[in-house]
Structure 1
């Protein structure tokens, strides 16, 4: 008859053997340790509020813990063992099923995660953890992980029904302006500015600014506008030849609202002209500056389009400036709903890339050239690869019963077409 000690040894032999076999298979965790150290440095630097280790079984995690503690002590951060990671639409839940993760964090960021997880649990207990409510939690978790909105959007599109405008292929942008005297406006843009007219009929004309950026002039009589609405919009024409354009427009007797200003240490230079019916044209050049570190490489990759005036009279991109009372909801709308990425942050103005040559700029009306108005004499059109798909998606997901076919209004009452 075996004594109790012998029984314990026999009982433990399979566990010891399996542990020895496992440790022989994975001794140093080189891959896991490398990613864990990189994330530790990011958390220490504040790039990521929290970070996650790779999902592991409990046995794997036990073996990895000494290395995890060594690295967190090295980078002076904290680690928390999470046996049941919050479920969101950012990741396939099967990847962590039956596994644990380590959460790297500093200070109160673990509490932020736990509050978010508790909120998700409460919604789930009520059968309400789905759709828009789950998306809100998922986005908050993504921000805790330090993801930009574009990354969050991509993950949501992969793991849920969420889509943004970029999923339907943005080919370009058209800025639509309305005129009482359309023939005079055509002459101004074709002859004075030298833009290429790519199509026209009796009631409209479309001009190419550069690449996929277009300006459309329409007869206000054929629209739903009265023509008395405020403009509340400006068009920036990007060029590196400000002095030449400035002299040319002065010679052509074009009204100048703001004269040319050059500041070699500034982020941008420019001047503002006024078209025949009061729309503002900002001739602008950007230079390398902390606020333009992403923007400048984008612009440098573009080929300028020479106008019919010839020589140095060209443009390589445009920015449609729109004016708002409350910027933050619009910033979220641009990144979360439309999926546009921020190219330049001027503080009171944000520039988002729409397509290769087209940008949208949000401006705080307290600082901008125009004021916010509920009604405005402007429309913006996105050219999409799959406009029908976008329409079907909006019809299925929009809570706005006032939407019209093929259009939507943003939070500042600007009308967008597609």
Structure 2
């Protein structure tokens, strides 16, 4: 579907008339706004339905965008989902909480809380937590902190971070987070966070560290958490930086962190690299190990989980197909036996247009399937400024294959 408009014809005399120029520009600008509005309305009217089950949809595709989905499944089978918002029409940091009691077929918003975003849901028993980026808005304190909240009623009510004994975990510097997996392993809870490095030249401007705590301790008390050393980015490395790391249990039982790598400017094309850092048993020391040179979709956030049945690591990533240049318009299921060698097993979503993005997926194993939530940019402003949150399923994932690749999704009508 093509859209076009013609600028008004203007004589040379009018261009040279100083008094007429402001009125001309006003007319042209008004015409542009009217045409843009008509284009946006037409685009929305002619957009095919998004894939999956819609959890939330932005009412304003130009100014309000939804981000950072996370999902947890409670002991009784209730699904809890969170997301935040961004863009000119968003009003401060805020997290929105939904529940599903029918395995994702329908969703109900049950609560929201202010000043926190980009967080991960996880549970210990039937106690639910949300850990993420927090702006306390207090004079004399960093406004880029890490905080944790607890819910004892599956997300309907939450504690509020007040101080280091009540949810405020990292407030001494500038930190950032995204909904990367929380690893519960060998009696401890592990989570990766990013710390701002003002001396770093390129985006992303972060060093990386891990915080961990005994899983039977009061997780709202910062004194129960152990911080690792920071691993700083080496400007001599061939890529631009890292962020959004996954704490994972290695086959030998130790913990590593696999991080997204910004490799857009590297020779041979982007989307193939991740970084590995190993963590000591006491959670205090990290050490960079290597870059993974064949990690499909390592340029964008991913979520790795280990399946006890197949004894494989699985992830849903934004693999860049050889015949495409888009950043996030393919969602692929990938797997590995050892965290080093990865293969694409199946394409879950694909679209030829780079304006669409299937991104920041969080997910859980459910029997033979994978249930996932996705931040979806669907014929909106661009692939990054996402206008939907959706839920969907990868069926029989252990028997996935490229023969089961999903066909390309639809175009504008």
Q: Under TM normalisation by the shorter chain, which class is it? A: under 0.3
* TM-score (normalised: structure 1): 0.21
Comparing both structures, which one devotes a greater share of its residues to strand?
2
- When Rg is computed on C-alpha atoms for both structures, the one with the higher figure is 1
Comparing both structures, which one devotes a greater share of its residues to helix?
1
* TM-score (normalised: structure 2): 0.21
* Greater relative CO, 1 or 2 (CA 8 Å, sep 6+): 1
